[in-house]
Every structure is written in C-alpha cells, then in structure tokens.
Structure 1
Amino acid sequence: MSMAQRERRALVETMSAVGPDAPTLCGKWTVRELAAHLVVRERRPDAAPGIMLKPFSGYLDSVQAKIARKPFQELLEEVRTGPPWWSPLRPVDAVANLSEMFVHHEDVRRSAPGWEPRTLSDADEARLWSLLRKMARMAYRKATVTVVLATPDGDRAVVHTQSEAEVTLTGKPSELLLHAFGRDEVRLETAGAPGDVRAVLALDRSV
C-alpha cells in the first residue's frame, strides 16, 4: 500500500472521529466541506478545473455545495475508495495524491487544540522530502531573500535564490512540506535576520 493510500485511510478515520462539523485548517471549511472538495477533485472532472481556474470557481462552488449535502458517511466512503476507474488520477494515485492526502489529513488533525506532530517512518519522511524538493520553488517564489530548507539530519535544499540575505527553515520533511503548502501550524526552527524570517513566514505560499 502506498503512503498516499495509507494517508487516505487515516484521513477518513480522523474525519469520522471528529465529525462533519469540526473545523479544518482550510479557511472556513468544515470537515464535511473538505470531504466534498476531495470528492469533486476526484469524481467531478466537469467542476474540478474551478479549483485552479477562477473563471470556473462559481460552478465549482455550486457543485461542491450540492455534494456537501450528501450523508456524511456516504461522503467519507467516496473519499475512502478514491478515484473511480475512469479517473486520470487513478493510475497515478501514489504520486498525484500523496501531498493532497497528507496535507489534508493534517488540516483536520491540527485544527484541534493540543495537536502534536505524528512520528512518521524514515521512509515516509524521505518520500515527503523528495516531494518537497520538487514543489518548494513554487511555494517560496515570492520571497525577497534566499530561502533554504534543512532537516535535522543535515539535508539541505536552496529553494529560492534572491539576494545575499538568507533565511533557513529547519524541520522534519513533513513539517517543511506543510509549511510550503501554506500551513502555519507547524514545528520549525528558523535562522536569519528577524525581519527576513518574519517576511518568509508571512509569505503567500499558495502553489
């Protein structure tokens, strides 16, 4: 079973445990609305473009709102079973859905007070580090200083080169990945001039 599949199952279990009205880190979305987003992404190719393309966002919103009104357990079952056989996402699920399932699982987990990071295996952290290195340049593209990501084990990646001023973010790949995807509920250490660090942490990191 791929990490994406394991995260999908864990996400559904967590959603079921906290209930449909629990908050998430996805703006004002509840767990029910997040589940509806995942269903649209994987099962409604007519509406999914609205996730990335603003001209189609109105149609997306209407479709997603309708799906969100389904019985909660039905929504969770559609998330659990993943892309249907005809979906272009199905053959590439292990790659295309790894960040989606991991990040949204943490969106549910970390919306609750007193959250703690999970302990992932070295192999899973390595998978997330590889993914992070591929997408981090886009995440930190608006930085006005050089941005370096580092792990406690000594791995380093310069993900944005802008000036001699440099900010380093250090943490496990899982924490760095969440930050790169715009989440602030993370455990990181920072190094650099205080003003530069504040600017990097406040960046719009939407991909």
Structure 2
Amino acid sequence: MSVARRERAALVATMRGTGPDAPTLCEGWSTRDLAAHLVVRERRIDAAPGILIPALAGYTAKVQEQVTAGNDWAELIDKVASGPPAYSPFAVLDPLVNVAEMFIHHEDVRRAGTNWEPRVLDDETVKALTRQVAQFARMTLSKSPARVSLATPDGKVLATAGKGAPVTVTGEPGELLLFAAGREPAQVTLRGDDDAVAALRAARRGL
C-alpha cells in the first residue's frame, strides 16, 4: 500500500472516530466540510479547479455545499475512503499528489482536538513527505517577507523560498510541510532577525 493510501486510511479512521461535527484546522470547516472538500477535489472535475483558482472559488463552494447536503456522513466518509474514481486524474496521480493532501488534512483533524502529540512516522512516510516539502514551499512561500530556509534538525535544507532577511525554520519533514501549509501547530523553531521572524509568522501561508 502506498504512503498516500495509508495516510488516507488513517485520516478516514480518525474522522470516523471524531464524527461529522468535530473542528479542524481549516478555518470554518468541520470534519463534514473537510470530507466534502475531498470528495469534490477527487470526484467533481468541473469544480476542483476552484480550490486553487480564486476566480472559480465561488462555483467550487456552491458544489461543495451541494455535496455536503446531498450525502449523509457515512456516504461522505465512504467516498473519501474509496479514493478517486477511475475517471478522475487523481486515480493515476494518487501516489504523487495525495501524500501531502492526506497527511496535512489528517493533522488538520488530529491537531484541532486536545491532547494531541506528533505521530511517530515510519521511514517510508518520512521520505515521501520530504519529497513534498520543496514543491509546497514553491507554492506557498514564494511571496514570503523573509528568505525562508526549511531545514531538518540535522541541518539538511529541504527548500528555500521568499525574499528578505534570512529565517531558518527547523523541524522534521512532516512539520516543515505543515508549516509551509500554514498550520500553526507545526512543531518547528524559527531562527533569524527578530523582525523577519515576526513578519514571517504574521504572513499568510498555505494555498
């Protein structure tokens, strides 16, 4: 089983446990909303572009509301669990594009609760997440008010992006990915000029 599929299964198991009305780190979204988002992303090719393109976001939001209203919780979760259908581009790209998606959204559910701890990840998962850091950084940190270096605790720089005074963000690959995605509970440390660190913390990150 691929890392993406394992993370999907873990996300589904966590969401089944929390139920449809639990909070997530996605602002304004419950677990029901998050499940509907994943269904739209993988099953509604007409609406998925609006997830990334602001001009199309209104249509995507309308479709997501329809998906939420038209499926009960069990149906939504079953659709997430079954993965992308054969007609979806994600059916082929799943091992490549869903590692970060499933990991981040799993943590969105886990870390919105109380008494959470970072998971201990196996080597294959860590390697897969490591490969995602640079790609995410290019998308989310290119307009950063600081020159951000994302580095592991052993000093390996996985990505550099943005302009300005240098700031080094240090953490495990999964935590760096969460930081790049704008998730504030990411377990990272920031080192650099105080003003640059403050500006980076205040800047919007994520997609």
Secondary structure of the 2:58 match is helix
Q: Which residue of 2 aligns with 1:169?
A: 169
Closer, same or farther: CA 157–47 of 1 in aligned 2, 3 Å:
closer
Q: Offset of 1:174 from its aligned partner?
A: 0.3
Give the % identical residues.
48
* Map of 2:9 onto structure 1: 9
Report the more deviating stretch, 167-176 or 136-145: 136-145
Aligned length in residues? 206
Tell me the TM-score normalised to structure 1 length: 0.94
Q: Which amino acid aligns with 1:144?
A: P
CA distance in 1, matches of 2:146, 2:59: 38
Match of 2:63 in 1: 63
Q: Per the alignment, do residues 170 and 86 of structure 1 end up closer, same or farther by CA in structure 2, a change over 3 Å counting? A: same
Q: Note the residue ranges of structure 1 that are not aligned, 5 or more in a row.
A: none
Counterparts of 1:160 and 1:52, CA distance in 2 = 20
Please, which moves more after superposition, 119-128 or 6-15?
A: 119-128
Whichever residue aligns with residue 194 of structure 1, its letter is: D
Superposition RMSD in Å? 1.4
Shift in Å, 1:119 = 0.7
- Counterparts of 1:35-184 in structure 2, within 5 Å, are 35-69=35-69, 70-160=71-161, 162-163=163-164, 165-184=165-184
Is it true that 1:21 corresponds to 2:21 in the alignment? yes
CA distance, structure 2, for counterparts of residue 52 and residue 143 of structure 1: 18
TM-score, normalization by structure 2? 0.94
Cα deviation for residue 88 of structure 1 reads: 1.1
Say if 1:158 and 1:3 are closer, same or farther in 2 by CA, change over 3 A: closer
Question: How far is 1:6 from its partner?
Answer: 0.3
Structure 1 runs (4+) deviating above 6 angstroms are none
